[in-house]
Structure 1
């Protein structure tokens, strides 16, 4: 079976080299095969020896994982134009040579990556390795779907490429990634933590509340940074393992760019596409978990009837419904939210379903939805303007869409919260909260401390 696949791939590569010589353009070749079971985290860890960028994505509740290694094709933009991404993507697919008999979501030609929260903001040095919009088609892609495992090889072939060298690289890479039996590296411990200007942040919360009282906005979301120094360089694979164990029902992700890695476990889906079917989630309004079942239920009930949190949640519901109606038919939104518990927190939750209209893509929906009131505020432009002027950090990819999309109209993006940027032995963690007219700066500060817990727990490796 493996030998047959290799011969088939050699044939595709030979065809691509010939086409590249004729057209004088590089050619993308993609081939997918079903393989034995492979641990996605081990696959990710093994890729470190190849010195290539890595991307990890898991929807834990759906038993779906994608791990990408290397970059066969790059769509990287500093401008904020959705149609540019779509044009790049369609041109790539039109010219690619693809052999994928499975048509399973997340196999074949897949783009993985994300974007900045606010591309109009000049990047700080913290995020200089991350473009405002960056999606890569990996050289090697592992996909786990419904307990089955698939491996896709994507190569950008040039006219002067040597067929034997390409096939040897493929076999060597597959052996390293698929057959590795190495133990996962241990996670370094936390040496110290530094809150970035907490008092100044509380003052900004008060300023935002005053602006809202003066009717300059209805809600403004403010984020802050906690800088963590580890005892040694961070092993991202160990963080992923911890997040998968500690954050069930979350989207666990990691996007690596030139050694820096943005990693997290988000509870919030922005949008999922299954052909023309769309799914989104309204997730706003937060409370801690209780120490007992009775206390947990009481906190949940209080959250469900709390005016501030219900108001925050209703902002999100209204905005997502309106955004979906612009590009979709059959939009369905339940009348009232329910409590959705996670490991450390519980949230108000409302699911949304819709049918995508002909001629639109997942990126049209993303552009309409992002940022939701849960991450930006209401109204959108007024809150973003306040954030640009007064927030004490460059959010980078924090709070922005991160995810994947494929050549068969499938894809999914989460809102990149509960996250941090890993740089050697340093990790910048991010957390935010929604400010309304009655917000108390100290209470909002405590809420962000709760939201730091999932990533701090994963870094420490503790329960």
Structure 2
């Protein structure tokens, strides 16, 4: 059996009812999965761990950030073991092969038809400021807001994955598709990796834009590395991670951060490693 090309896998992703794409930041691990060998809808980490323990090849999914219930079922906690899984880096196949689709109808490029932003953003920010001023235990808060965008056409999944690889080459990629629901992520942050008892995580906090040229880029990085506000925020994150993991592993933590560069921004970055007890 000849291994399908990545372009063929992009096209197959476009037409699949259930599919997943995952790649690590260094691209030493890259997977495409299709169909359902098994799946679980849950936000109970113990239930998910028990389900995953019986699997003989990788599973993919995610947990919700909080107890909020979403209209999209997949966003409430979902994990998938694909029926067929391609390991691109190792040229290995798990599961049962089916025909690879090589032809698809050409789509128009989607256009934004409608954008809806949250209207209470300023009030929420003020509420957070008031809470931090009255509660000394709150040192760092990351605020987020939602934007709803209506497109003129469905997303072209083949082009989306190709664009992820071109515009976000050094980030982790994760695309999970189930019917009309799609979760897409491109992030520089890895929560945790454990391999043969060796643990790897990192503190990533403190951000600056990229420069218009190499000289300005280096100047912005130097400013970030010496900025008291960003260094304080970064230290809060690193110290919190170390506190949470101290009882689980003997940790190695550098004295100070370095710079992690991505296409749009650069971050303060401290790798944290250790051996799990």
Task: Flag whether TM exceeds 0.5 (same fold).
Answer: yes
Structure 1: distance between partners of 2:266 and 2:23: 21
The structure having more radius of gyration, on CA atoms, is 1
Secondary structure of 2:211 counterpart? coil
Distance 2:231 2:173 in 1: 27
Q: 1:205 to 1:42 in 2, by over 3 A?
A: farther
1:410-425 superposed matches below 5 A? none
Task: Tell me the C-alpha RMSD between the 2 structures.
Answer: 2.3
Partners of 1:302 and 1:332 lie apart in 2 by 26
Shift of 1:190: 2.8
Aligned mates of 2:24, 2:106 — CA distance in 1: 23
In the TM superposition, what are the counterparts of 1:57-456 in structure 2 within 5 Å? 57-78=22-43, 80=44, 82-90=45-53, 92-93=54-55, 108-118=56-66, 120-121=67-68, 123-125=69-71, 128-130=72-74, 132-145=76-89, 148-153=90-95, 170=96, 173=98, 175-176=99-100, 180-182=101-103, 188-192=109-113, 194-197=115-118, 200-216=120-136, 217-328=138-249, 330-357=250-277
* Partner SS, residue 326 of structure 1: coil
Task: Give the corresponding residue for 1:161.
Answer: none
Q: Distance in 1 between matches of 2:189 and 2:11?
A: 26
Partners of 1:312 and 1:186 lie apart in 2 by 44
Query: 1:195: Cα distance to partner?
Result: 4.7
Q: Whose helix proportion is higher, 1 or 2?
A: 1
Structure 2: distance between partners of 1:59 and 1:42: 21
CA distance in 2, matches of 1:303, 1:312: 12
Which of 21, 25, 33 aligns to 1:56? It is: 21
* Map of 1:361 onto structure 2: none
| Contact 1:190–1:228 under 8 Å retained in 2 | no
Q: Which runs of 5+ in 1 are unaligned?
A: 3-34, 94-107, 154-169, 358-463
Deviation at 1:354, TM superposition (A): 1.4
Structure 1 residue 322: deviation in Å?
1.7
How many residue pairs get aligned? The number is: 276
Q: Alpha-carbon deviation of 1:188?
A: 2.1
Structure 2 CA distance for partners of 1:60 and 1:317, relative to 1, 3 Å: closer
* Whole-Å separation in 1 of the counterparts to 2:211 and 2:91: 38
Structure-1 residue corresponding to 2:12: 46
What's the CA shift string for 1:239-297, capped at 9, x where partnerless? 11111101121011101123210112111111112221111111111111111222112
Q: CA deviation at 1:313?
A: 1.0
Q: 1:112 deviation in Å?
A: 0.8
Shift of 1:311: 1.7
- Paired with 1:312 and 1:64, the residues of 2 have a C-alpha distance of 31
Structure 1 position 69, deviation (Å) = 0.8
SS in 2 for 1:130: helix
